[in-house]
Amino acid sequence: MTASFLAEDYLEIRDLTVDFDGFKAVDGVDLTLLQGRLHFLIGPNGAGKTTLVDALTGLVRGTGGAKFRDHDLLTMKSHMIVRLGIGRTFQTASVFEQLSVLQNLDIAAGVHRAARRSVFARGRVPERVEQALETIGLADLAHRPAGILAHGQKQWLEVGMLLVQDAKVMFLDETVAGMSSGEREETGELLKRIVGDRTIVVIEHDMDFMRRYADFVTVMHTGRVLAEGTVAEVQADQRVQEVYLGTATEAATHG
């Protein structure tokens, strides 16, 4: 990609473990997320992908280290992590359905606004919000309630909300799940356009989507990192093939 690999912003995860009463959903993960690339996180169900992101965004407690700009994310509260520039989406799109598309984006953009300014009504639309509306292609729907958007559009709106926050690290949890193939393609192109100097981590099950857009892939299995590399490298990896074939066989035998 265009960004330099002498990156200043990177998220370094060391020995991250999430322990649910003895069950290690994430088990000693080491991972370095560099800026400027679409980093796909794949793995069978229960591999710990979402839990990993939950731990990095303060939703569940993890041990180990996750360093970003001299902060250890594991000791921070969720909203402070977001303020540091680390945003995420959820598997089910969760936009504010009663508010308009514009209001959704404006609320997201407000995180960098002084609190005392929030007693005023929005005057003109902030430039950042207008740009995001264009980037995610929802400018024509700016004044419609977000609740009427199609599934794919809601996901784009979520991405837009991260954009107006200028999130440097974006965790996108199964963003293209349930999308039509056309929507998937548009989403992929959208991500390529916005990645710039950001780190975009995409949790995904769709292998075609991954093959097409991933710059880098990390495969997780039972809470651990199984393999890392480019799409070609990962696909050629014997263990990855076993895990995917293995789980398929297991699933078949277990009915």
Partner 1 sequence: MTLTTTRSANEPGGGADPAVAPPAHGRRRASPARLLDTYGSLIAIGVIAVVLLVWAPSSLSQFRLDNLGKYCALALASMGIGLAWGRGGMLVLGQGVFFGLGAYAMAMHMKLEAAGPGGVPDFMTLYGDGTMPSWWEPFRSAPFTIFAIVALPAVVSFILGYAIVKRRVKGAYFAILTQAMAVAFATLLIATIKQTGGFNGLNTFSTVFGHNLFDPEVKRNLYRVAAGLVVVFLLVLWQLYRSRYGELLVATRDAEERIRFLGYDPANIKLVAFVIAAVMASIGGAVFVPIAGIISPTNVDASASIMLLAGVALGGRASLFGPVLGAIAVGYGRSTLSETFPTQWTYFLGALFIVVIVLLPGGVASLWPKLRSRWPSPTAETPANGDHDVDRSQPAVPA
The C-alpha torsion from 190 through 179 and 144 to 162, rounded to 10°, is -40
Question: Phi and psi dihedrals of 225, rounded to 5?
Answer: -80, 120
Asked if 155 interacts with partner 1 (CB under 8 A), we say no
From residue 137, give the alpha-carbon distance in Å to each of 114, 133, 153, 154: 28, 6, 9, 11
The C-alpha torsion from 191 through 196 and 201 to 207, rounded to 10°, is 40
Q: Of 71 and 192, which CB lies nearer to partner 1 in the complex structure?
A: 192
Q: Residue 131 CB, nearest distance to partner 1 (Å)?
A: 6
Asked if 229 interacts with partner 1 (CB under 8 A), we say no
Interface with partner 1 (CB under 8 A), residue from 31, 42, 74, 136:
136
Asked if 5 interacts with partner 1 (CB under 8 A), we say no
The CA angle 218-223-224, to the nearest 5 degrees, is 50
Interface with partner 1 (CB under 8 A), residue from 68, 156, 213, 216:
156
Interface with partner 1 (CB under 8 A), residue from 119, 253, 254, 255:
119
Q: Of 133 and 219, which CB lies nearer to partner 1 in the complex structure?
A: 133
Using CA atoms, how far apart are residues 152 and 178, in angstroms rounded to an integer? Answer: 8
Half-sphere exposure of 165 (CA within 13 A, CB side): 24
Q: Residue 201 CB, nearest distance to partner 1 (Å)?
A: 15
Which secondary structure element, helix H or strand E, spans residue 252, and what is its range? helix 238-253
Interface positions with partner 1 (CB under 8 A): 1-2, 57, 77-80, 82-83, 87-88, 90, 94-100, 102-103, 106-108, 110-111, 113, 117-122, 124-125, 130-145, 150, 153, 156, 161, 163, 165, 182, 186, 189-190, 192-196
